Amino acid sequence: MADRNALLKHLRVNVSAQNPSRVLGGGGLIQVFRRHFSEEVRGSFLDKSEVTDRVVTCVKNFQKVDPSKVTSCAHFQNDLGLDSLDTVEIVMALEKEFGFEIPDNEADKISSIDLAVDFITSHPQAK
């Protein structure tokens, strides 16, 4: 038992609540971590053709839309005959499909399938 305690005494690491940037040498490790993470996030955008297929399918499933009129460049109001409330409902369906919330100021700009695809492919949180 005495040998065990002597061994543990030498193996123990003192833990204290120090500033992490001081412990890690001025935050260098943290900067490397952030840089790596941001590069990883930039590389995780969805493929445009996959997003286009998913958006087109989502719009085709909307009850007020004639599926035969839906194309990858269809305008919600001019080509599909939807009003502003319908457009809001489509944007909500896209949020659900891709797993992230589209801010209102950006949602107001989405008036066609190609604009929706462009926004979703450029957003890092889209799944």
- Residues carrying an active site annotation: 83
Q: Using CA of residue 79, residue 82, residue 83, residue 85, what is the dihedral sign?
A: negative
Give, as one character, the DSSP assignment of residue 124.
T
Helices (H), 12-83: 20-23, 28-42, 48-60
Residues 50 and 23: their CA atoms lie apart, in Å, by 45
